[in-house]
Amino acid sequence: MSTGNCRVGKRMWSLVGLVSVILTMDAAFLLASSSSIPLFSQSAVPRFLMGLAVIMISLACLMVFLLIPLKNRKILLQKDGIPLELVVSEKAAGQGGEEELKLIEDGLGHRPEEKVLLSTVIEKTEDNILIADHRRTILYINPAFERSCGYACAELKGKSLRYLRSDQHDKAFFQTMKDALNRGEVWIGAIVNRGKDGADFEIEGSISPIKDNAGAISHWVAVGRNMSHFRKLERELQRVQKMDALGTLAGGIAHDFNNVLAAVMGLVEMEYLGSSAGSRTRNRMEQALTACNRARDLVKQILAFSSQGGERRQSLCIGPVVEEALQMMRATLPATITIRSDLAAGAALILGDSSQIHQVLINLCTNAAHAMRKTGGVLGIVLQEVEVRDSDVFAGPELQSGSYLRLEVSDTGEGMNQQVRERIFEPFYTTKGPGEGAGVGLSVVHGIVKGHGGKISVRSEPGKGSSFQLFFPKIDGVEDDQEESPFSLPSGHELILLVDDEELVVAVAADMLKVLGYEVVAVHESPEALKVFRAQSDRFQLIISDQTMPCMTGMELAAELLKIRPDIPIILCTGYLDQKIGEAARAIGIKKIMAKPFVMQELASSLRDLLDQAAARGTSSGEEAACLPVT
């Protein structure tokens, strides 16, 4: 009953009451006037009967006024103690069904300000809210859901829930959800929907059935939180953890592999030195050395993506490295792929490692060729000098403003979608088939570029090819001199203590030292080396020790040896070189760190430099002692 109808009802009952009062007064007057006339006279009887009739009518009106309203009125007491009058409409009372209770004054339901507050909460909350009817037709979505899906509420209203369905779930997923909801249960979980722009977004929450008074499901309400951003952070964390795990694994593999490679390289070098110039044996040994050096660089590049490699950085002219890589690629690419290069900045310098830049180019060009293997296309290589400003799209935490060399490798192949682009630098992620790739190449590329202080960006769309842009900080100056011939070997005659737990490595290294003219005492355990040195420390001029050994590491052994003789030069060899090891080694007094596998040139030069420096210090100390006054 409306408020207007309530007022009409009140006026009607007030009129009935007034009529009853008037009739009662009239009846009393008639009775009083008839009392002065004889009871059975002819004029008294009608007047008496009329008064009695008026009294009866008045009593009937009073009964209607008092009894009927009480039947449809309820006086309730609110929690705050204020009486509340409820009126039941005559229509509802006459039907005998549910009473339509209308609140007079404050009411028992939500007050107007409470309704406004509830509406505001739904509109302002960051939780996504969707309401659908029993046919699963969308009736309402709140602003948070609008932000997640990209649709306005008016665009989705009247559409089926299937309109938001993505292809991330199978039929069994939706059937399980449907069965639970049809049983009247609350479904809790995560569901991936598809937004207006075609991108998927994940909602984690619940879907609850709303039942009417008869117990039938009339509506569904879904409440949840958009988890897309959190899932992206989780993937980033997993990627970092994968890279850390792979770096740890690679470090262990590198140590064992480098021990084997060191022995092979040492034997090949000695055989090379013992062969005649121009002979078949020397030519074969030279080819074997080239293969060993490539294997050594490969281990360094595997370690590079996790920033744990011991690469050597120097002033590098990047143009010749690019040309060398392109020359290699031309010999391997099919005739359907054309190479177009523009090396305008070929003479510019960066601080880098030539073998790593070479590996980056080979990886990117190989991937580009794979993307064009079916239809052919154009492989583009561009090398330019660029100035990056703070306002540029490439500027950011990873790329500060300044001068850079931009190396771009592009193709006209099949391209990549957004999901692939987000994962291409993850270790072991690949879109290639079995036997076509392990998914390590681009993670190595990413690590090398970051290790050079640069940045790599990717632009790609399905059917429109891909473009990888690499930015390297540009430096001024001239290119460092190339290493001297690997077989210009300085020699010596000093006594050296050699320590390594690998018998093969000890045997080959001892032979190499003897070829260089040195005397060698070789041991396989750290405690034994410490015992030998303690017994005759003055005999040795230098110590070569491996880092990774049981019982006592190379640095722990070096610390004990330096306690016995602080001036003894020590070379620490490791297949797993990083900045922390270098800093710790220098802190305890180790003079030189060499990465395994080392070549004879590096070993011979390092030995001679350290021994000459030690001899110079000894001569200087002797001259000072000779000048002291004799007492």
- pLDDT of res. 408: 92
Helix axes 554-564, 526-535, angle to 10 degrees: 10
**How far is residue 508's CA from residue 516's CA, in Å, rounded to a whole number?**
13
Query: Where are any strands of DSSP class E within 121-265?
Result: 128-133, 138-141, 187-194, 200-211, 217-226
**Dihedral through CA 537, CA 539, CA 541, CA 543, nearest 10?**
-50
Q: Please give the Cα distance from 324 to 315 (Å, whole number).
A: 18
Q: Where is 230: in which H helix or E strand?
A: helix 228-274
Identify the pLDDT of residue 477: 66
Look at residue 498 in the predicted model and tell me its pLDDT.
Answer: 95
For CATH 3.30.450.20, the residue range(s) in the chain are 112-226
Distance CA 314, CA 312 (A): 7
CATH 3.30.565.10 domain locations along the chain: 311-482
d(CA 332, CA 344): 25
The pLDDT score that the predictor gives to residue 316 is 84
Tell me 434's DSSP state. Answer: T
Other Cβ atoms closer than 10 A to 552: 18
Q: Where in the chain is the domain with CATH 3.40.50.2300?
A: 495-626
Q: Which residues contact 601 (CB under 8 A, 6 or more apart)?
A: 483, 484, 485, 486, 487, 488, 489
Q: pTM of the full predicted structure?
A: 0.45
In degrees and rounded to multiples of 5, residue 151 shows phi and psi of -90, 150
Out of 3.40.50.300, 3.90.1150.10, 3.60.20.10, 3.30.565.10, the CATH code matching 311-482 is: 3.30.565.10
* The CATH fold of domain 112-226: Beta-Lactamase (3.30.450)
Question: 3-class DSSP state for residue 96?
Answer: coil
CB 254 within 8 A of CB 496: no
Domain 495-626 in this protein, CATH class: alpha beta
> Block means of pLDDT (10 residues each) for the chain, length 631 residues?
42 53 57 51 58 66 54 44 43 39 42 80 90 92 93 92 90 90 91 90 92 88 90 78 71 74 85 82 84 74 53 78 83 85 82 83 88 88 83 56 88 85 72 56 81 87 90 76 55 93 88 91 93 93 91 92 94 76 85 83 89 78 40 31
